[in-house]
Structure 1
Amino acid sequence: MTDDDGPPIGVLDTLRATPATVRYLLGGVLVNQLGAFVQTFLVLYLTHQNMSDGTAGLALGAYSLGTAVGTVLGGEATHRLGARTTIVVAMAGSAPLVAILPLLARPGLLVPLLLAVAGAGLFAQSYRPAASVLLSDLMPDRHHVMAFSMMRIALNVGAALAPLIAAAVILLDWDLLFWIDGATTLVYAALAYRLLPRHAVPEPAAVTTTERRATGRAVYAAMLRDRAYLAYLVAITLGTVTYVQSSVSLPLEIVHDGYPTWLYSAVLATSSVVLITCELKITSYITRIPTYLAVGVGHGLNALGLALYGLAAHAGVFVILGMLVYVSGLMTAAPSMFAHPATFPAALKARYLAAMHAVTGLAGAVAPLFGVYLWQRFGQGFWALAGLTAALAGAFAVYGIKRDADRRAAEAATELAEPVGGAA
């Protein structure tokens, strides 16, 4: 997305153009993320409760499966019920399931535990398509990419602070983690109900015949025929697989090369600070160039950063350098990548967003397994493979986004030409 209809978009311009409802939405996302402990600490908690490693892994798998299903259902609910209702129902449904996990984490209750964990994952992630739809609908079109950058910052701030909060809470009581998680989820539900607009489903008279016929089955069938969007989803999948390696395979590499564990902590802290403080400014620049070029350059930087990790055995500076290059790639590509599904018509938007979130969740769930196996098999050569994967993701992203932009430009030109042809 480029801003061809006005002056360059600045950070202050975007902040001034942000409606109060969007501020409430982003505030709710931040509050929810601050207390989102289940996925991060579930395995540690269950092993602390003397449950087996296999049971803990099975529970995490159930949660991941629930999130994948939840994003699809969340997209469908958003289209049928509206964004605010979906967010409120999702958060209100997740809170009690999360809060009762400490009561189920004991021998003999494996099936109820897995059902509760899967349900918590389903409800917890079903709000994301709704939040994305609401964000794109409430923000002016020219600020869409910047708006999704702001949402990413809210998520990153929460993700950076949540482990610090959890470390303090664990000293008091492990069970408090899940009770606080449930409480913050309820707070988000209350904020959404009180502060977000009703945002009802469009009346039939307000939509076109094509949109009226766009049932869920028809939309997903059309999506499977859309080569441009399928290429985009492949790019999201491959990009997520490589992104996860920074938190799975990189610490293994650091320990294997004989560096102290604080180096990994320094990498995490620095990357979080850079993302939180610089992404919005970087986004203000990338909105001035074609979207396909921004995502191509960003994935290229990702590939270079991952390759630099492969040189870590020679000097620890390559870990820091690789992180800085990789994070630069994230700031360049990610806002446009995650804003892309929101550029589709209203009849498609929620479901296209849901598909994006679903493949992201599935890729994030399987990426640790593939990453550890390949790292153990190829050693430092793994990072060259990861870099090539990131570059391949970039190629799919450029193809998908550019092809879609060209198609829309052709459709717009045809619409402009129709009155002239009709008058002839």
Structure 2
Amino acid sequence: MNDDDPIGVFATLRATPTPVRYLLGGVLINQLGAFVQTFLLLYLTVRGHSVTAAGLCLVAYSAGSVVGTLLGGEFTQRFGPRGTIVLAMGTSAPLVASISWLSRPGLFGLLLVVVALAGLCTQAYRPAAAVLLSDLMPERFQVMAFSMMRIALNTGAALAPLIAAGLILLDWNALFWVDGATALLYAALAFALLPRAHGPAQDEAAQDEAAQDEAQAGGAARDGGAVSGRAVYAAMLRDRRFLFFLTSVLIGTITYTQSTIALPLEVVADKYPTGLYSAVLTLSSVVLITCELKITTYITRMPTHLAVIIGHVVNALGFVVYALAARSGAFVLIGAVLAVSGLMIAGPSMFAHPATFPAARKARYIGTMQAVAGLASAIGPLFGVYAWSRLGSGFWVLCGALTGVAGLLAWAGLKRAVEVDPGAAADPSAEGEPEPVGGRA
């Protein structure tokens, strides 16, 4: 295939290496059993804990998740993706499985610690999976590859509640036993099937850039060509575009979570049947799973910054349509389709962007982005309940405006000139050319 040919779904599937198929299969298996964050609050109240105590456990899990993604990036940089996935999932399995036993009276302090550690270990694999995906997938298919990972995650997230409903009929405790079992299975598959190596070695340009960053950060020690975390994070703090990008991720994730936080409150307040919200979730999942890969084939043909701004605008329109929900339930469904369409347009490029950095930085940049997204997911419920209860339908206009701001920040963070190969002759005409989606940032 010529590199100038359009990137299609079937071409991407044919270009996908076998280890990437194993990786995505493991992500799906793990996500099918990811019950803790969704059902922990309900489970603990059923077992006799107060709502306050159960909420505190959920906060501990969320806090652990944020720290876990940062540590996952650090471990990936130091020990490689495969080892990080095996360690994270292998450690997560017994922690999650023990939650049912620790939920007994008198063990709340220990339960709180274990839940926080479970959140940490469960999320630590994600930076490693993203790094391995970017290392193994051909460069021109990078955005499509991250779209496939998002589909694996979303498919698991859509099916997991159905599996959980069946398990609850058998035994509430089975939720955590199965969760632990899927994590252990993922660890075993990663150990047996994923490659041991980090992936392609850094090219000379990446090493030179990393060395310059390190020198500017105060000369932190290098060991065998690896760059210290201090140097990488110092470079990150100086990278204005990446800070714009992270702020966009923070704001955009907070607003997007309102589709599962404030929207059900809106449905109830407008006196619609709860089945309407179930229809929204089902419709959103079906559209996302069936359409994202095809939509990604179109967005890879335009500059990255243009794709993300269009996606955020469509997402913002979805929120504005939610403001009309009181007039007709149809506006709830239309808003949901627009919101998820915006996510499909902007999401793959946003998700793939940290993986475009040099190998010396990649894992830590991915971990930082995912930690910011996790922090936003934890803030989202607090923001949604507080603001919606005071603004009513005006809350959705606010979400639309904030999503627009997030889009502008993403545009500022991703709009840059194409990097020129240091070994190639300089081409003045290339300076200022927009970065294509899927190209290296």
2:425 maps to amino acid = L
The SS at the match of 1:314 is coil
> What is the match of residue 242 of structure 1?
255
Deviation, structure 1 residue 213 = 6.2
1 CA distance for matches of 2:200 and 2:15?
24
Matched, 1:268 2:281: yes
Matched, 1:417 2:422: no
Large movers: runs of 4+ above 3 Å: 200-207, 209-213, 411-418
Q: Closer, same or farther in 2 for the Cα pair 1:198/1:414, shift >3 Å?
A: closer
Q: Closer, same or farther in 2 for the Cα pair 1:370/1:205, shift >3 Å?
A: closer
TM-score, structure 1 as length reference: 0.94
Q: Closer, same or farther in 2 for the Cα pair 1:201/1:331, shift >3 Å?
A: closer
- Which residue of the other structure, out of 349, 357, 367, is the alignment partner of 1:336? 349
Deviation, structure 1 residue 204 = 9.4
> What is the match of residue 176 of structure 1?
174
> What is the match of residue 438 of structure 2?
none
- Which residue of the other structure, out of 309, 313, 317, is the alignment partner of 1:300? 313
2:237 maps to amino acid = L
User: After superposition, what is the alpha-carbon deviation per residue over 1:388-414, rounded to whole angstroms, capped at 9, x for unaligned?
Assistant: 011000000000000xx32x53x6589
- Which residue of the other structure, out of 280, 292, 302, is the alignment partner of 2:293? 280
Deviation, structure 1 residue 106 = 2.1
Cα pair 2:202 2:358 within 8 Å, conserved = no
1 CA distance for matches of 2:203 and 2:281?
51
More helix by share: 1
The SS at the match of 1:199 is coil
The SS at the match of 1:416 is coil
Deviation, structure 1 residue 316 = 1.0
> What is the match of residue 19 of structure 1?
17
User: After superposition, what is the alpha-carbon deviation per residue over 1:124-152, rounded to whole angstroms, capped at 9, x for unaligned?
Assistant: 00000000000001000000000000000
1 CA distance for matches of 2:361 and 2:203?
17
Q: Closer, same or farther in 2 for the Cα pair 1:152/1:204, shift >3 Å?
A: closer
The SS at the match of 1:126 is helix
TM-score, structure 2 as length reference: 0.91
Structural mapping, 1:97-246, within 5 Å: 97-200=95-198, 208-211=207-210, 212=225, 214-246=227-259
Aligned-residue CA RMSD in angstroms?
Answer: 1.8
User: After superposition, what is the alpha-carbon deviation per residue over 1:64-92, rounded to whole angstroms, capped at 9, x for unaligned?
Assistant: 11011110110011011000000000000
2 CA distance for matches of 1:105 and 1:269?
32
2:89 maps to amino acid = M
2 CA distance for matches of 1:342 and 1:362?
20
The SS at the match of 2:425 is helix
Cα pair 2:135 2:198 within 8 Å, conserved = no
> What is the match of residue 422 of structure 1?
none
Q: Closer, same or farther in 2 for the Cα pair 1:370/1:172, shift >3 Å?
A: same
Where structure 2 has 5 or more consecutive residues not aligned to the other structure, the ranges are 211-224, 428-441
Matched, 1:315 2:314: no
Cα pair 1:81 1:201 within 8 Å, conserved = no
Q: Closer, same or farther in 2 for the Cα pair 1:302/1:201, shift >3 Å?
A: closer
> What is the match of residue 367 of structure 1?
380
How many residue pairs end up in the alignment? Answer: 412
The percent of aligned pairs where both chains have the same amino acid is 63
> What is the match of residue 60 of structure 2?
62
Deviation, structure 1 residue 111 = 1.4
Cα pair 1:80 1:201 within 8 Å, conserved = no
